[in-house]
Each structure stands twice: as C-alpha cells, then as structure tokens.
Amino acid sequence: MSHIQEFPRDVGGEDPLVDQQIIQTHLNEDGSTSNYFDKRKLKIAPRSTLQFKVGPPFELVGSYNTVLEADTLETVLFQINPRIDRGFDFIDDGWVGYKRNYFTLVSSFETPGLDLDTFLNSSFKVQLHDRHNSPLLLVKYFAVKIRARSDDDRTEISLVQHTAKRDKGPQFTPATCPLIPSALPQHQIIREASNVRNSIKMRKYDSTFFFHRDEDREKYNVHGIVYSYPDECIQKVARYERVQFASSINVKKPSQQNKHFRLHVILGAVTNPPGGISPYCSYDDALNMCDEMTAADGSKEYFIPLQEMKTPPLVIRGRSPSNYTSSQKIAVRTNSSVSLASKNSSSISPVIISPRSSIPPSLSPPEQKANRSSKRRSKVSENPPSLSSLVNTGVGQNEYRTSKRVETIEHIERLYKEKSSLHLRTSDENNRCRNDDNANDMKRPKISRQDSIDPKEIELKPPTCGSDENIYVVGSLALTATLQSDQEDLKLKRRRVNKIEAHKITDTEKVSKNPKKCLLSSNLPTQSSTAPPSPRSPIEDSQEEESFGDSLNHDLHSISLSILDETSSNYRHGPNSIHSNDENVPRSFSRVIGETSFTNLHGYKHDKLRMKERLPSREILSLPSQVVEGDEFYQELSFYRH
DNA sequence: TTCGACACATATAG
DNA sequence: TCTATATGTGTCGA
C-alpha cells in the first residue's frame, strides 16, 4: 500500500517546472500506478484508468474487544486491510475527493497465526472489554462495515452507494459485509474486476472475492463458523464501489474553510445472543458501532466492534464550478478553435486529457458539446469547430474540416506571441480577447496549403534530457523519474534542470505521431545517478531494454508527468510516407508495468515477441492478473494498458 | 446558492 | 470495429 510519507512532496514551490507538474504518478505496491491530479486543473475522461488510484492510507483507531477460539480459549489476532482504490487524489499535501464522484473502498481482514481452514472449522467467542463478568458470546460470523465522520465533531456522515446504473438504479447505504479472512487483492485486481460482466472473467475473479462453502462440504466442520455465515457464498473482500458522500453534506464550515472528513472501516463480530437481548447496547453510542441487525430468519443480531481503522482527514470538494476546470479554462483562438473564459490566475494551464486521443491534451476540444439538445444549449456548442474536429472528422461543412489541415506550429506560435499571453485570463480580459479574436477572424486570411500542415506530418523528435538524469523531455511532456535511491535529491535536481530546459514554447503545439519510439529510448528509470543519458536511437534502445523492467521494479519510486508550456522545438515537421500506412493505428499512450513506463500501442505487436523474451519470468509471475506465458500473454498484458 | 435530474462525452467491456 | 455501458461533469430549473 502507498504510504503518505512516501509521496512526492515537491509539488509547487518556486521552481516553474515543478510548479507545472500536474500529474503526480506514484508506483503502487503491485506495479500499477496511481496518478494524482487536481481536477481544478486537469480534466480526465470519466472512464480513464487514471481515475483509479490508491487513496489515503488507513491508520489504526483502536482494538475494542477480544475474540477467543472457543475450544482453546486462545486469543485471536485480527488485522483489517483496507484500501481506497478510486476517488481520492493527493493534492498539495492533502487528500481530496469530490462530492459528485464515486470512490471505491475495499477491505479484507486477516487472522495472523490462524490459517483459513483452521479458522473456518473453528468456533469463536467474543469477550466484551467493559463487561468482564458477562458471558462469552458465540460469534456467528465476522463482518466489516464502513462509516464516514466529520473530523471536527465526529458526527456521522451518510454515505450513499449506487449501482452501475446510477440514477436509473437504486441507492442504498453501504451494507455490513460478512467476511472470512483473506489477503487484500492488489489494486490492479480491483481495477480489472470492476465492471466485469463477462461470465468467463467473473469466474476468473470468483476465487479472489468469494468462498463457496458448499463446494467442498467434506472439508468443513458443520459446527465450524463457516456454517454460521448467512450465505453459502461468502465474501473474502468487502468491495464498496460507487460510494459517494451524501449529496446533502456541507463541505465547508460556516467560515468557508474546508470541513474534514474521515472514512472508517470497522471489523466486528456478529452475535446472535439467546433471547435477542443486546449484549452491548450501551457501547459507545457516539460511535454507533454496536448495530442491531435483523438476520434473514428474523432473529436479532449484534455487531460487536473488534478493530477500527480510519483515513487521514479528507477534503471533499463540492459542486462549485470553482472546483472544476471549466471555471479556469483557457483556449486559444486560432482559425479552428475559440477562447473560453478564465476566472483565476493559476499558473498552470488547465488541460483536458483523453488518453486515447491522437492529439495532445492541449489540442483537445474546449468542452465541445456538439450534439447537445436544444433544451439545454451549451455555450460552447455555439463555438466554431475545434482543432481536434478538424483532425478527427473526415466530414464537415466548413472549409477547415474539408481541408483536414491545421495551422503550423510556427503560425500558432506567432499568434500566441502576438497575443502576448497564453496564461489564464480573467473573465474580462478574456471577453476582450474574444472580441479581439472575432475582429481578427474577420481579417484573417484563409489558410493556405503552404501555411498549413497535415498533423500526421508532425512527429516527435527523440527525447532530450537535461543535466538531471531522471528528467526526459518528450514532445510536450516532461517525465521525471524518481528513484528510491535519489528521491531525497529530487527537488534540488529539478531546479538545476529547469534552468537548462528553460527554452520551450507553448503547449498547444503538440501533435505526436509516435511517442513510443522516444519514450522507450528514454529508458527512463534505468539511468544511474552518475551517468546522464543522451538522446538515443531505437537501435540503442533495443540493446538496453533488458535491464529496464528490473530497474523499474527495484528502484523506481514514482514518475511525474508535466506538460510543458513551450515545446515546438521538440517536434519536427516532415512528410513521412511510413505514416500513411499507419493511419488507423491507435496512438494512445499505454503503460506496461515492469516493461516500460509508457509505451505506445503502435508497434506493440512488433514488440510482443521481444517482450516475452525480455521479461524475466519472475516478473511475469509477479503480475497481478496471473499472466501466463504463451498466447495468453498479450491478452493478459492488456490489463496493464492505460 | 444548492441540489435533483437530465444530458453529454468518452474510455472501457464485450 | 461496432455497440453498450459506466462515470466525470456540464447544465437547467425548482
């Protein structure tokens, strides 16, 4: 699990490059990554895997009551394993979630020193700590539940869970979940297993999440606890997905300061005392942990808390537009796109990233709602066609679309310089600019073929690196690899590099044709701290890729992705006949854990064989989704693509 | 201003 | 490659 102390802490500060790190990538324990970004500055597609990320680490609140093995009266130890897998970003030294968005909390528990079969065949009794004279109560089953509390006054906050149908399905309170001991599946497994509908895949994950006691009846003692669980199918992992804070919560104090919340996970023993009289009704009512429940047969059950863990304080951002990029959007007026208002003066340009997009983030359309119904006419829907629509659509009614061409980098750059600032503008300023732009539009001559280029003809130059061996500049991206060994020096090094890398241009000039070649050649995490890399050819890459996965696994701490302001020098323009054959090849970035940090799907098939040879078998076996060798390799590895 | 409801956009799953 | 689905978030209107 990620530990908060290990997170890169150097976001912001006086270093402009560091200031621009809008995605903080952290390597999770299982080799997957968590990408933390501020939704005020960066909009990521709702289904992007970047929305999955390990959230805040849990801390122990306390252990409350003692469980004894019924025959030996030996004390049983418990350990809750909770983790948040979606919904919280680590921003500016704090954990931030969104009221409107889902979070995922998973938890299992384990019984150190007691193996599963012994556990299932045993009976347990619970001793209440503050009632030493009370009889031991037979445990019917163990269960976990989750709660949310205000960190200021400890009041309980309602949580709401949806089905995948969201508004069309029911809403409910996260339920108490009967569990047997199990390890917590890795983050990547939770990602992969979310939204699985295919029966083959469901079967694949069945043993990870469920235990079917009737599948091996002879193996288990009918007097063991396994037969007092309420259902034949017993969960090994509590998965609380699609959970939200109640929409009615107030996320700000009257003073307009952020309120802080905490999520709690409570492991308990559920008892079914004779007579249905609560054994524990007066236990810490403020915590409301000794729930009375009704079993399927109508009898009363009581949840007796055993152990509790909680998150650090969480900030929940409300629905205010100021919490979204839309309030800060800039866009640059060119022949094919239009400016939008900006309301603050953040130094970081908001960016929209669609990982599958073939054009860089800043060239994505400014929130175009082309098919919005007349009932709700979007302001932006009235805009001229966006740059990306020029690139992506083959049909259109205006001249730009039919030409399928965009302005040259140099032309756009010239425009920006003339406009003096690409940074965020105030609304007034922006409105002024829009008017200016409109005026310019009238005067602007049509794009000539000489002044325009086909985006396919723009390609990345090989990556460059500064004096810092762990920073690679590829197109508009600066990738900063933090190794375990040099994490401490990171901040200092970045400052040094920034002085050297200070010559780039605007972030709207990026049209990447083949990031793979460069990123592979960057060989990012393998650099030693004493040998700064130089730009490499693909041939050199292939010679050095052998050590890449090993190094990644052993020394990579995190990768930071920055989008640079000025990058035209990192692209070149040249008609390339090879491209014409690759028109339909996806050019999205993907990530193959243990192989290379970022790869391109383009060329993946070529690499497939080489990858099989390169990947040490240890790494294959360590992949969370039980990757096997042979033909399934490709299919399984696809889980790691982003 | 807030929130329920609906709508749109876009990556994923199959 | 296409369609259906899930989910972040934009927007309207009470």
Read off the pLDDT of residues A476-523 as tens digits, 9 standing for 90 and up.
Answer: 556 666 555 444 443 333 334 333 333 332 333 333 333 333 222 223
Domain ranges of chain A: 44-325
| Strand A596-600 with A589-592, pairing | antiparallel
CA distance linking residue A418 with residue A471, whole number of Å: 31
A196 touches strand B (CB under 7 A): yes
Q: Long-range pairs for A202-208 at CB < 8 Å and ≥24 separation?
A: A208/A236, A208/A237
Please report where in the chains the tokens 């049209």 appear, as a residue: A511
* Amino acid in position A638: S
A198 touches strand B (CB under 7 A): yes
A326 touches strand C (CB under 7 A): yes
A380 touches strand C (CB under 7 A): yes
pLDDT at residue number A190: 98
| Sequence-ordered list of residues with C-beta below 8 angstroms from that of A207, at least 6 positions apart, any chain | none
A52 DSSP assignment = B
Q: Out of A252-266, A302-316, A449-463, A623-637, which region has the weakest mean confidence (pLDDT)?
A: A623-637
The confidence band for A109, taking pLDDT boundaries of 50, 70 and 90, is very high
CB A592 within 8 A of CB A625: no
Residue A309 is inside which H or E element, if any? strand A300-310
CB A476 within 8 A of CB A563: yes
pLDDT at residue number A222: 95
What is the strand order of the sheet A238-245 is part of?
A79-86, A103-110, A238-245, A159-162, A171-172
Choose among A123, A63, A57: nearest CA to A289.
Answer: A63
Query: Mean pLDDT score of chain A, rounded to an integer?
Result: 64
List strand B contacts in A 498-527 (CB < 7 A): none
Query: Which tokens is A611 given?
Result: 């990858």
pLDDT at residue number A39: 97
Highest mean pLDDT, choosing among A274-283, A352-361, A591-600: A274-283
Residue A638: nearest nucleotide (C-alpha to C1') = B12
Domain A44-325 sits in CATH at 2.60.40.1390
Strand spans (E) along A477-595? 477-483, 556-563, 571-573, 589-592
The confidence band for A454, taking pLDDT boundaries of 50, 70 and 90, is very low
Highest mean pLDDT, choosing among A183-187, A352-356, A441-445: A183-187
Does the structure show a pLDDT above 60 at A301? Answer: yes
pLDDT at residue number A235: 98
A322 touches strand B (CB under 7 A): no
pLDDT at residue number A59: 98
CA distance linking residue A336 with residue A547, whole number of Å: 45
The confidence band for A21, taking pLDDT boundaries of 50, 70 and 90, is confident
Q: Out of A288-292, A295-299, A596-600, which region has the weakest mean confidence (pLDDT)?
A: A596-600
CB A13 within 8 A of CB A491: yes
Query: Which tokens is A425 given?
Result: 């503008």
More confident residue, A594 or A207: A207
The confidence band for A25, taking pLDDT boundaries of 50, 70 and 90, is very high
Length of chain A: 642
Query: Which tokens is A635 given?
Result: 């299919």
Q: Long-range pairs for A464-467 at CB < 8 Å and ≥24 separation?
A: A464/A535, A464/A570, A465/A522, A465/A532, A465/A533, A465/A534, A465/A535, A466/A496, A466/A497, A466/A498, A466/A500, A466/A501, A467/A496, A467/A497, A467/A500, A467/A532
Residue nearest to nucleotide C13 (CA to C1'): A376
- What Å value separates CA A103 and C1' B3? 20
pLDDT at residue number A480: 63
More confident residue, A218 or A597: A218
Residue nearest to nucleotide B5 (CA to C1'): A167
Read off the pLDDT of residues A144-166 as tens digits, 9 standing for 90 and up.
Answer: 999 999 999 999 999 999 999 99
Name the β-bridge partners of A309: A60, A265
3-state secondary structure of A599: strand
pLDDT at residue number A476: 54
- What Å value separates CA A125 and C1' C5? 45
Choose among A64, A84, A28: nearest CA to A264.
Answer: A84
Residue A12 exposure: Cα atoms within 13 Å on the Cβ side: 7
CB A156 within 8 A of CB A146: no
Backbone phi, psi, residue A135, to 5°: -65, 155
pLDDT at residue number A472: 59
Residue A377: nearest nucleotide (C-alpha to C1') = C11
- What Å value separates CA A512 and C1' C1? 24
Question: Quick one: what percent of chain A has pLDDT higher than 90?
Answer: 42
Read off the pLDDT of residues A215-238 as tens digits, 9 standing for 90 and up.
Answer: 999 999 999 999 999 999 999 999
The confidence band for A273, taking pLDDT boundaries of 50, 70 and 90, is confident
Query: Which tokens is A78 given?
Result: 């418990």
Residue A323: nearest nucleotide (C-alpha to C1') = C9
Residue A200: nearest nucleotide (C-alpha to C1') = B14
List strand B contacts in A 35-64 (CB < 7 A): 45-49
3-state secondary structure of A78: coil
Please report where in the chains the tokens 């080799």 appear, as a residue: A31
Nucleotides on strand C lying under 7 Å from protein C-beta: 1, 5-13
CA distance linking residue A53 with residue A94, whole number of Å: 15
More confident residue, A470 or A514: A470
Does the structure show a pLDDT above 80 at A611? Answer: no
Read off the pLDDT of residues A70-88 as tens digits, 9 standing for 90 and up.
Answer: 999 999 999 999 999 999 9
Average pLDDT in the A589-600 region? 25
CA distance linking residue A445 with residue A460, whole number of Å: 29
Residue nearest to nucleotide C6 (CA to C1'): A164
Name the β-bridge partners of A599: A590
